Amino acid sequence: MKRLIKIATLSILSAFLLVTIFDMHLVGKPSITSMDDYIIQNAQVQTGSNNVVAAILFDYRGLDTLGEASVLFAAASGVFILFSTMKGKGAQDD
C-alpha cells in the first residue's frame, strides 16, 4: 500500500512538473498585454512613485505582498521554534 502511495505521489508530481515546464514562457520573451502599457503610463500619477516596480509591489499589489511576507514570517518562525525545541537533544542521545 505504501508503495502504491509513493508511485501515485511521484506520478502526480511528475505530471505537475511536466505541465509547468511546457506552459512556461521563454526567458526574456514575456507576453505583452494592454495592462503593461496602462501601468507604465499611469503608475506615477496614480501612486506618486517614481519607481514603477515599487508602485506595483506596494500600491497595486500591496495586500498580495503583505500576504507573501506573512507566509515567509510564519515559515521562518516555525523553523526557529522547531530548532529551538531540538536544542541540546543531539548531545544527550549518546
* Tens-place pLDDT, residues 57-74: 888 888 888 999 999 999
Closest to 43 measured CA to CA, from 33, 32, 54: 54
* Domain locations in the chain as residue ranges: 2-86
Cα–Cα distance, 43 to 65 (Å, whole number): 17
Is the pLDDT assigned to residue 90 strictly greater than 80? Answer: no
- With bands split at pLDDT 50, 70 and 90, how would you rate the model's confidence at 78? very high
Q: What is the mean pLDDT of the chain?
A: 87
Of 32, 59, 30, the closest CA to residue 43 belongs to 59
Count CA within 13 A, CB hemisphere, residue 85.
Answer: 5
Q: Is pLDDT above 60 for 94?
A: no
